[in-house]
Chains A and B, each alone.
Chain A
Amino acid sequence: KAGVTQTPRYLIKTRGQQVTLSCSPISGHRSVSWYQQTPGQGLQFLFEYFSETQRNKGNFPGRFSGRQFSNSRSEMNVSTLELGDSALYLCASSLADRDTEAFFGQGTRLTVV
């Protein structure tokens, strides 16, 4: 059974640009969550999608957005990139709607220069 797949693995962007990251959840999983991981702030929740609807949102500016498709694949977008957006972006998928194991992908390492 394939795990959570995130693409690309590494990305370098320039300040002011926008970026789209992709996440393919484990087959059958309907919940997809996104997290940002930095040395200073640790793992922080961005948002969660369930059945194509954003169900939860963390405390991030509107430059961070996401969506989920009918096949549960998800994308997140960051517009007008800032140096502080450099981080490891992690996607996690879950089978049920809440309080179940969340499985993470290997993440996308975004560097903003």
Chain B
Amino acid sequence: GESVGLHLPTLSVQEGDNSIINCAYSNSASDYFIWYKQESGKGPQFIIDIRSNMDKRQGQRVTVLLNKTVKHLSLQIAATQPGDSAVYFCAENPDNYGQNFVFGPGTRLSVLP
């Protein structure tokens, strides 16, 4: 069935280093993807999105890369800070109608001092 999966459940990085969080999606028809950050006790927070007609999109300290050939999505965080510690989810919209997102299981990012 449709699914969005993550390769690593946890990721630890040194403060100041770059982080890369990966995601594999299964539905080749998905044309819209979002990365979310969820801190403890809070709802998911929108980070960045990308449409299938793009390979790369940059935000403030974050970059999302989309490889449609292998159905892979990644989130790069530059100069990782303690405030980046959270669980990160990728989400795809596999439907052509409506906002129905399929979420990956999430990756917990821990930033070490």
Contacts and interface: CB of A to CB of B under 8 A. Distances in A.
Interface of A: 4, 31, 33, 35, 42-45, 48, 50, 55-56, 58, 90, 92, 94, 97-107
Given A99-B32, A101-B49, A102-B34, A33 B105 contact: no
B69 interface: no
Given A31-B99, A33-B99, A48-B100, 7 more contacts: A4-B43, A33-B101, A43-B89, A58-B100, A90-B43, A90-B44, A98-B93
12 contacts: A42-B104, A43-B44, A55-B98, A56-B100, A98-B95, A98-B97, A98-B98, A101-B49, A102-B34, A104-B45, A106-B42, A107-B43
A42 to B, nearest CB: 5
Contacts of A45: 100-102
A101 B46 contact: yes
A104 B42 CA distance: 9
Main SS of the interface on chain A? strand
A56 B49 contact: no
A97 B100 CA distance: 11
Interface residues of B, number: 27
Contacts of B46: 101-104
Interface in B22-60: 31-32, 34, 36, 41-46, 49, 51
Interface in B75-113: 89, 91, 93, 95-106
A107 B36 CA distance: 15
Given A42-B105, A42-B106, A43-B89, A98 B44 contact: no
B86 to A, nearest CB: 13
Contacts of A103: 46
B43 A105 contact: yes
Nearest to B104: A42
Contacts of B89: 43
B8 to A, nearest CB: 15
Given A33-B101, A101-B34, A56 B95 contact: yes
B70 to A, nearest CB: 22
Contact of A43 (B31, B41, B93, B103): B103
